[in-house]
Amino acid sequence: MSRIPQSQRLRDQLEDAIVEGLYAPGDRLDPEALASEYQCSRTPVREALQQLATTGMVEVKPKRGTFVARLNVMEVVERFEVMAELEGMCGRLAARRITSDELTALEAAHEACRQARDAGDSDEYYYRNGVFHECIYTASHNDFLAKEALRLHAMLKPYRRLQLHVRNRVKDSFDEHERIVHALRSGDAETARRELMDHVRLQGDRFNDMAASIQRLPPPRA
């Protein structure tokens, strides 16, 4: 029926489900259960899981099953470190390459963030924040970079969500966005890069703070 393989559909759906927190880190993904869940056999499920394994979303333990990736603190911090660099690169390139249409879209996303902030809706802000960042990825006009940034962004989503309700985080985040938009609008590549890197690094730092305060938060790999 569908023109695209079942395994690919499954991969996307599972990825979404994991990112959305439907399956928590450490959960075992039972192929048979998923097969009956998605009305197919184990084969497409296996292929989907294999693909997710190569992107690092799940971890397969040979002969023991596949589990939603549970990253320890260092692994998350490392990823934030790389994310900061990639976002900074997106900003640097976007400052030089962004089109007026893309700038308009970025400013619209920014405005949407402002409304969510004013409404005090941090969940909504978080969602619109994602759109904002995707605008910058696109504006880098480097499709490979954009894809990689998007992938990492998705991987870190469960860990960024933890800091959703930290005091003043939304307000601070928006101010940082403000400076980023300004830098992009004025085509200041180095400033855009620095602001974006700092913006992401802050998230990594916040995560580290939380992990440090809740010692047993990042359980060792199951």
Partner DNA sequence: AGGCTGATTGTTGTATACAACATATCATTT
Partner DNA sequence: AAATGATATGTTGTATACAACAATCAGCCT
Residues that bind DNA (CB under 7 A): 1, 3, 5-7, 28, 30-32, 35, 39-44, 46-47, 60, 62-66
By a kind-dependent CB cut-off of 5 to 8 A, residue 40 interacts, out of DNA, its own copies, none, with DNA
CA angle 21, 82, 122 (to 5 degrees): 40
By a kind-dependent CB cut-off of 5 to 8 A, residue 78 interacts, out of its own copies, DNA, none, with its own copies
Report whether 92 contacts 192 (CB < 8 A): yes
Residue from 67, 8, 56, 10 nearest 37 by CA: 10
CB of 27 to DNA, least distance (A): 12
Q: Tokens 């900061």 correspond to what residue?
A: 84
CB of 51 to its own copies, least distance (A): 5
By a kind-dependent CB cut-off of 5 to 8 A, residue 25 interacts, out of DNA, its own copies, none, with none
**Which residues lie near its own copies (CB under 8 A)?**
3-5, 7, 46-47, 50-51, 53-55, 62, 75, 78-79, 81-82, 85-86, 89, 93, 142-145, 148
Q: At 174, is the secondary structure helix, strand, or coil? A: helix
Cβ burial 88-119 (10 Å sphere, 16+ → b, else e): bbbbbbbbeebeeebbebbeebbebbeebbee
Q: What single DSSP character describes residue 28? A: B
Which CB, 64 or 167, lies closer to DNA? 64
CB of 56 to DNA, least distance (A): 17
CB of 22 to DNA, least distance (A): 18
Q: Tokens 């101010």 correspond to what residue?
A: 175
